[in-house]
Structure 1
Amino acid sequence: MTSRKQLDRIAQILEQQIAQNDDMRAALERSQKEVSLVQLRMLSFHQRRNLLPNDSAALQKTCMMLWGLSKTTPLDHKDLLNSGFRVFSQGDEDGIVLRIFQKIGMANKVVVEIGSNCDDSDLAIPENISSNLIVNHGWHGVVYELDSTECQRIRHFFAQNSVTKHFHSDSMSGGYISPLIENVEVTPENIDDLLRANLSVPEPDLMIIDIDGGDFAIMESMQAIKPRVLVVEFEKRFRELHSVVQRSRGDFGKYYPQSGAASLSAWNKLLSARGYVLCSIATTGFNAFFVRADIAAGALEPVSVRAAFDDHPVLSNANTLWVEPDETWSEF
């Protein structure tokens, strides 16, 4: 006959098993949630990269061939806007850049990018404009980034990528490395020295600068190179109404989420004096594309700052986005 003590022991064992099952069930539910989260992150990652995967070189080159057949006359800013797509870029800059170079040609396939990170990637994939050209189109690149952790992540990506791993080494010792990832703060004082140390061509095909403040002063100071195409970040909230610059990097984003530290009108004044013409802005309204006038002639139609906003599918319909410059901005 089973004693009371034995019954209590059996009940205790059953309770422990139930508790263990509950723990296992809870652990399983947690695991399922984690798997779902990873799947959602992967989905959002692909959404952020948009329609073309990161190894879409053949499809991109087919696009470039079809672009060449579809229009033989000069492209205007609407043509460029309609050509945008994302691969590695934050917005649709990858497609616009390719459309520009399909029209003007690639002279040396060298790109310089100041400011880059992997912040918007769960897989430590760079989100910038140079990576698509390097990975899918065989370009050589020099990337400058202040954050050492981001530099390590970017180096790791290129050291593992099936295309660039043959030219890249995490050790950075000996051999030819492409792209070069330079962990350094770029300033108006050192920009020319850095470029001379890392570039063998005085007129690289493309230069991008995006460091959330300080961009304008660096471009004012730069004399060492004359890129064929420039991509710069501008503050869209001023439309074409104000030619202003925010000189202190500490003021960036102080009062509202900024898209740049110089208005598009200010950039247009600075770069037109250096022989560039504005050709388009990106759909997201963060970046502007300037091409040297001697290269754009007969291939790309310049656009005025006002028309860039008036013809933009989103910004032309915005009524509450615009602001007046505050005390952190100065006229240019």
Structure 2
Amino acid sequence: MDANSQIGFALNHIANFNAAMVQMNLHRFWAETLAQPRYADPKRLLRHGFKVYSQHDEDGIIQEIFRRIGTSNRTFVEFGVETGVECNTAKLLIEGWRGLWIEANAQGCKSITAMFDPFLKDGRLALKQSLVTAESINTLIRSADVGGEIDLLSIDIDFNDYWVWKAIEVVKPRVVVIEYNAGLHPPLSLTVPYQPNAAGDGSNFFGASLEALVRLGRSKGYRVVGCNISGSNAFFVRADLCADHFIEPATSEEHYEPPRHFFSFLLAGPQAPKPGPYVAV
């Protein structure tokens, strides 16, 4: 091996070692966080989080919610999925669910078409390339022949999330996952003003506070049941399904998690994510 190859090998080894250390530190911090008294109650959803295809621990939390309340028609709608390999419904798709993805980015849709071709061809997944606005969302969902009760709605569009959820009428999801701005700590009830064509600019001016979403959810018949470890997504369940399955009270103060966006470095494993399709045996 010549000198340049030796240097390249050493640098690659250092990079792999550093990446492994990041994963170890993330898992150590996660375990230490869950060891705190606040998280001791088994009803606390954060205890059940894990990542398969979600950005953080949402896959595990969604699985636990449906373990408690059951499923209906195993149908989802998610918008803001980017390339599809890191979103809240890819795991459900490979488990046999069906649904609709909406993504504005043309390159993202091209990647989805390539990566998820078997699911698109067998009709389990529908894809719409479109900007999502409060004015367009019901038409977009209806155009995919989706309506009425569905099991899951997931919203992550980095700006107008509050206003789009408020506008949705064509479906009645049993569970809603929606991004919140954890920089706006309870009891602040704030959202960005509605601007149909606006998107996040990388600043902390985006989305809505958890309290604003809790109030909106309550007006639509939903109760907040938890947030994820990174302080990115809040989980709502339709009030008629909650029973005594979740931590009370259903308030922003009880369920708020602070911003821990460094969990974006969390990996499900050493390999790049690929949805298969797998074969159930």
Do 2:141 and 2:147's aligned partners in 1 also have CA atoms closer than 8 Å?
Answer: no
Matches within 5 A, 1:114-129: 114-118=79-83, 126-129=85-88
SS in 2 for 1:245: coil
Aligned to 2:97: 139
How many angstroms does 1:155 deviate by?
Answer: 2.2
CA distance in 2, matches of 1:315, 1:210: 16
Aligned to 2:277: none
CA distance in 1, matches of 2:172, 2:210: 20
How many angstroms does 1:297 deviate by?
Answer: 2.1
Aligned to 2:120: 168
Q: Which runs of 5+ in 1 are unaligned?
A: 1-23, 52-75, 119-124, 160-164, 170-175, 317-332
How many angstroms does 1:177 deviate by?
Answer: 2.4
- Which of 219, 237, 244 is matched with 2:183 structurally? 237
CA distance in 2, matches of 1:77, 1:231: 20
Matches within 5 A, 1:66-215: 79-118=44-83, 126-135=85-94, 137-159=95-117, 165=118, 167-169=119-121, 176-215=122-161
Aligned to 2:251: 304
CA distance in 2, matches of 1:157, 1:221: 31
SS in 2 for 1:299: coil
How many angstroms does 1:180 deviate by?
Answer: 1.3
- Change in Cα spacing, 1:236 to 1:297, as seen in structure 2 (3 Å) is same
SS in 2 for 1:227: strand
CA distance in 2, matches of 1:101, 1:251: 31
- Change in Cα spacing, 1:189 to 1:35, as seen in structure 2 (3 Å) is same
- Change in Cα spacing, 1:158 to 1:301, as seen in structure 2 (3 Å) is same
The count of corresponding residues between Structure 1 and Structure 2 is 241
SS in 1 for 2:45: helix
CA distance in 1, matches of 2:113, 2:98: 14
CA distance in 1, matches of 2:204, 2:6: 38
Aligned to 1:55: none
Q: Which runs of 5+ in 2 are unaligned?
A: 28-40, 261-281
CA distance in 1, matches of 2:87, 2:199: 24
- Higher CA-based Rg: 1
CA distance in 1, matches of 2:3, 2:128: 46
CA shift digits 1:94-153 (9 cap, x unpaired): 0000000001001011011010124xxxxxx61100001111x21102110000111111
CA distance in 1, matches of 2:144, 2:56: 28
Aligned to 1:223: 169
Do 2:183 and 2:204's aligned partners in 1 also have CA atoms closer than 8 Å?
Answer: no
- Percent sequence identity over matched residues? 30
- Change in Cα spacing, 1:199 to 1:251, as seen in structure 2 (3 Å) is closer
- Structure 1 runs (4+) deviating above 6 angstroms are none
How many angstroms does 1:300 deviate by?
Answer: 3.0
* 1:252 matched to 2:200: yes
Provide the TM-score with structure 2 as the length reference.
0.75
Do 1:246 and 1:252's aligned partners in 2 also have CA atoms closer than 8 Å?
Answer: no
How many angstroms does 1:202 deviate by?
Answer: 0.8
CA distance in 1, matches of 2:98, 2:11: 39
- Change in Cα spacing, 1:253 to 1:139, as seen in structure 2 (3 Å) is same
Task: Please provide the CA RMSD for this pair.
Answer: 3.0
